[in-house]
Each structure stands twice: as structure tokens, then as C-alpha cells.
Homo-oligomer: A and B are copies of this chain.
Amino acid sequence: MVNVNTINEERLFRMLSKSSETGTIPGNGLSRLALSDQDQEMRNIYKEWCEEAGLMLRIDDLGNMYARRAGKNNLPPVVVGSHLDTQPAGGRFDGILGVLLALEVVQTLNDNGIETERPLEIVNFTNEEGARFEPPMLGSGGIAGVFDQAYVYSRKDADGFSFLEELERIGYKGEAGNRLGDFHSFLELHIEQGPILEDEDKQIGVVEGVQGINWLEVTLKGEADHAGPTPMHLRKDALMAAAEIMNQLEKNIATTDITVTVGKISVSPNSVNCVPGEAHFTVDIRSANDKLRKEAFEETKKTIRRVSEDREVGVEMTELWETEKIDFDSNITEVIENSATELGYSSKRILSGAGHDAKYVNNLGPTAMIFVPSVNGKSHVPSELTLDRDIVSGANTLYHTVLTLSKE
């Protein structure tokens, strides 16, 4: 039975290697922003693979790609997937593993001539990263009713191109009728993007839920002055105000239960000898505890207002995004845990710190995730790495979880 029980490593790493050649950047990384030429190229390759595997491909109005394998019975399918887009200087595994390992599961079923009771669908969601079109997870959020079509279509990148324009340009605008239908269960395999599995030497993370997140965009409006003749006490320096805010958020808001990240910043006029008249930055707040997170978010806004008032600097805040902590399906997490155990892999129940497509799909039906370890906990960087042996453990766990769920 050994050949039934494991995926084909050689084929899997050939697919991963091909993916790593599409949008390559120095340092082994990928730059495959959603709906870019690189995303288009990867979608075309993936589409071909799906067709070669005998899957029926369909594309919905948001560019989400579904590939279906029929089951013995026309029941709601087991659905497996993630995303093929990356950060601007991202890695080769984030999201990609979840799509390509799903395809490998299908191919292993084909190899072994297994006809599952339920149909199987594998999915590539559009713009999970949110690096090109904010907010993230527009594809999965769109089908889950979090964002309506008009909102998704209207999102613009930094150069002013809209989601809709770019979706049409790369030829991946399908029909709203093709969206994900009723399903039995949804599974997403993903890299951990954190240090916990590696630290505790576990092979499989059984993901029980996702942290809550707030995103805030802040603009401070001071006064631009020449750096030379303007004495310090007469300045309204927007960047010095931003620096004080960042310091206070780090000192007073962040805790062991709350992370606070200022990931983007820019100033205007951005010249060595000009006092910055404007500063723009983002704040990302996360916690496994919604109550603590909401309090931290309110305190963050208070801090920003207080520092701005003290410095007589104007302030505009836009709440870009909020998502509550969510709990995944306990039946699926149990199946994942049992599959890992049966295969002889060590596992740990864990909470996701990052947002994932599974988070929104969870609104539609029973959902859970499988994590594989990230070397040094790194992700969203070219050096992002999951070891081959961990990829194989993940793929086999996914395969056996699908086998079990598709019998239900």
C-alpha cells in the first residue's frame, strides 16, 4: 500500500521549481504581484497542469481559478487551495505550496486510480497578498461576501491601475456563476510564517483559527520648511510626530499578546533639506484576543491624536480593514491531526498570526488549515524557506486528510 499512501516527490518539486522561475528576483525570491504579467504567466502554466491532470477548469468574476475532479457521487466537494501571487519581494512558498500541493494530491489520486466519493476542487485565489491591491484576500473575501464585486473591481494599485482593468488585461475575468458553490470542507495548506513549529521541532501545524487584525492608515499634516533657517521650536515636523507615535505604540501598545507593525511610511516633500510637511504611514495590529485587540486599536488612535495635538500637527486616519479572530472547524482539525499522527509526523495545534484565504472561506462552510514550518520563521522575503522534507510531510498530510474527508 505504500504507493497509495504517499505523493510523488519528484513531480511535486518539478512543479515548485517551475513556479520558482516565474517572477524570479535576486536572492531566490519571487515578485509575482496579483494580476501582473508574472501572475498571468504562472496562471497559464498552472492552467495547463490542471488540464493535463484531467481537471475541469472554471474561472469566476474575480479571477479565482477552480479545477474540479469528479467524485463517485455528485455531493458538495472537498475543496483545497491557496494563492499563487506573492509580495513585491516575496518567497517561493507562501501560498504557492497550498495550490501546488493540492494539484499534487489530485495527481496522486490519478496515479492510484482512486475515485473519491465526493468531488474534489482545487483553487487559486486572486490577490491574497494585498501587496498590489489593498486590502488582502480580495478573491476569497469577494466570494465570501466580505467585499462586493464593485469594491473589488475598483481597488487601485500604486500606479492607478484598477483590479478590473488588470484582471481583464491578463485574460482572467470569468463569470460570477463560476464562484465556489456549496462545499463539504475547505482545506488550505500554508507555510507557518512564524517561528513556533521550528522552535518546538514539530512537522505539522494543525491550525485552529486566525488572529484578529486591524489596519489603519495615518496622514500627519505639519508644515514643510527649509531645514536651515527654521528654528526647532517653530517647526511642525510631520515625520518627528510620526517617530514619536511609533515609539509610543511600540512601548505602550505592543505586548506579548498584541503585535504592532508600521510597515509603510513616506514623507513629503522627501528632500534632505526640507522639514517634512506630511507623513503617511500604516499601522497593523493583531491579537488572538479580540477584546485586547480592540482596546489596543482604540489606544493606538488616541495616541496618534494626542501626539498630533501636542505638536499642532493635523491628522487624518482611515480604518482600512478589520477582521475578527476566527475559529476553524473542529472536525477538520481532528482529521488533520489524525492524518499526521497516522503518517508518523509530529504535530502541534496552533493559531495563525497572518490572514489567509481560509479565513474568509470559513464564512461559507467548514474550514481548516495545515501549517508547515518556516525556516527562522521568515516569510514575505526572498530567503523564505520550507525544507523539502517538511514540504513532503505537508503534502502527505494534506493527501490523507483529503482521502478521509472525501469519504464523509
Known: A243-B247, A377-B234. Is A192-B272 also a contact (CB below 8 A)?
no
| Contacting residue for A227 out of B263, B320, B378, CB 8 A | B263
- List the B side residues contacting A266 at CB < 8 Å: 265-266
Given the known interface contacts A231-B256, A262-B239, A377-B234, the answer about A271 and B87 at a Cβ–Cβ threshold of 8 Å is yes
CB-CB nearest 7 A-B residue pairs = A194-B229, A228-B353, A229-B353, A228-B354, A243-B246, A227-B261, A243-B243
Measured between beta carbons, the chain B residues less than 8 angstroms from A225 are 377-381
B355 touches A228 (CB 8 A): yes
Chain B residues contacting A242 (CB-CB under 8 Å) are 243
Tell me the A residues contacting B by CB distance below 8 Å.
Answer: 87-89, 130-131, 134, 136, 192-196, 211, 213, 215, 223-234, 237, 239-240, 242-244, 246-247, 250, 254-256, 259-277, 282, 284, 286, 320, 352-355, 377-381
Determine if B247 and A275 form an interchain contact, defined as CB atoms under 8 angstroms apart. no
**Cβ contacts under 8 Å, A320 to chain B:** 272
- In the complex formed, the residue of B with least CB distance to A276 is B263
Question: Which residues of chain B have C-beta atoms less than 8 A from A259's C-beta?
Answer: 227-228, 230-232
- Quick check: A193 and B228 within 8 Å, CB to CB? yes
| Whole-angstrom CA separation of A379 from B230 in the bound complex | 10
**Inter-chain contact A195/B230, CB cutoff 8 Å:** yes
Q: Which residues of B contact A233 (CB under 8 A)?
A: 256
Q: How far is A136 from B226 in the complex, measured between Cα atoms in Å?
A: 14
Q: In chain B, what residue has the closest Cβ to A382?
A: B224
Asked if A263 and B272 make an inter-chain contact with CB atoms under 8 angstroms apart, the answer reads yes
Which residues does chain B contribute within 8 Å of A354, judged by CB atoms?
226-229, 273
Give Cα A178 to B228, complex, Å: 32
18 A–B pairs (Cβ distance < 8 Å), ordered by A: A194-B226, A224-B380, A224-B381, A225-B377, A225-B381, A226-B378, A227-B284, A228-B354, A230-B353, A232-B255, A239-B246, A243-B262, A244-B247, A264-B271, A265-B276, A269-B381, A272-B284, A273-B380
Q: How far is the CA of A232 from the CA of B252 in the complex (A)?
A: 12
Contact A273 B381 (CB under 8 A): no
User: How many Å lie between the Cα of A187 and that of B19 in the bound state?
Assistant: 65
- Which of chain B's residues have a CB closer than 8 A to the CB of A377? 225, 229-230, 234
Distance in angstroms between the alpha carbons of A271 and B131 in the assembled complex: 6
Question: Given the known A-B contacts A229-B192, A240-B246, are A130 and B273 also in contact in the complex, defined by CB atoms under 8 Å?
Answer: yes
The CA of A13 and the CA of B284, in the complex, are separated in Å by 51
Contacts of A265 in B (CB 8 A): 239, 265-267, 270, 276
How distant is the Cα of A244 from the Cα of B89 in the complex, in angstroms? 26
Given A234-B377, A286-B227, does the pair A263, B254 have CB atoms closer than 8 Å? no
CA of A149 to CA of B223, assembled, Å: 37
Q: Which of these, B232, B269, B271, contacts A254 with CB under 8 Å? A: B232
Residues of chain B within 8 A of A379, CB atoms compared: 225-226, 229
Question: Within the assembled complex, what's the spacing in Å between the Cα atoms of A88 and B223?
Answer: 16
Residues of B within 8 A of A136 (CB): 273
Distance, CA A194 to CA B234, complexed state (A): 10
Q: How far is the CA of A82 from the CA of B12 in the complex (A)?
A: 67
A263 with B275, Cβ < 8 A, contacts A193-B228, A194-B228 known: yes
Cα distance A381–B270 in the bound complex, in angstroms: 12
| Cα of A249 to Cα of B401 in the assembled complex, Å | 56
Q: Which residues on B sit within 8 Å (CB–CB) of A130?
A: 272-273
The answer to whether A263 and B271 have CB atoms under 8 Å apart is yes
With A353-B228, A353-B229 as known contacts, state yes or no: A380 contacts B261, CB within 8 Å.
Answer: no
Report the minimal beta-carbon distance from A256 to chain B, rounded to whole angstroms: 7
Q: Give A82 Cβ to nearest chain B Cβ, in Å.
A: 15
From the candidates B193, B234, B250, B271, name the one contacting A88 in the complex (CB within 8 A). Answer: B271
A386 to B247, CA, bound (A): 38
The residue among A192, A239, A378 with the most chain B CB atoms within 10 A of its own CB is: A239
